[in-house]
Amino acid sequence: MTDRCNECGAKFIRYPLKDNKGKLITKNFFKMDLMSFIFVIVVLLMIVGHNLDMKKCETVIENPCGFCEDSNCCEVDWERFDQNHFEPLDLDEIDLDFGEK
């Protein structure tokens, strides 16, 4: 992160990652402004959420029937199907009149 000097206006790095000898300054990794800290937290939460979703997908792929029994999703699907059930369309009852050629 760069800042400007109040007196001369020159740019300088607020928390350098390396010293004059080229060694890493590890304590400066943890010195950051609020927005950078929030960004790191959001990225970490996204990674954790992605990993949890992937584990759930793996369990569904490995044992779909067990997942269906545990989550009761099949019962919910059948209830929704019964509520929104329409009679199947019989194509013989439809009168298609395309006119004569």
Which tens digit of pLDDT belongs to each residue from 19-65? 788 887 777 777 777 777 888 899 999 999 999 999 989 988 998 88
d(CA 89, CA 93): 9
Distance CA 10, CA 3 (A): 8
Q: What's the pLDDT band for 1 if we cut at 50, 70, 90?
A: low
For residue 5, what pLDDT band results from cuts at 50, 70 and 90? confident
| Element counts in the chain: helices (H) and strands (E) | 3, 2
Where do the domains of the chain lie? 1-31, 33-83
Distance CA 1, CA 11 (A): 10
pTM comes to 0.47
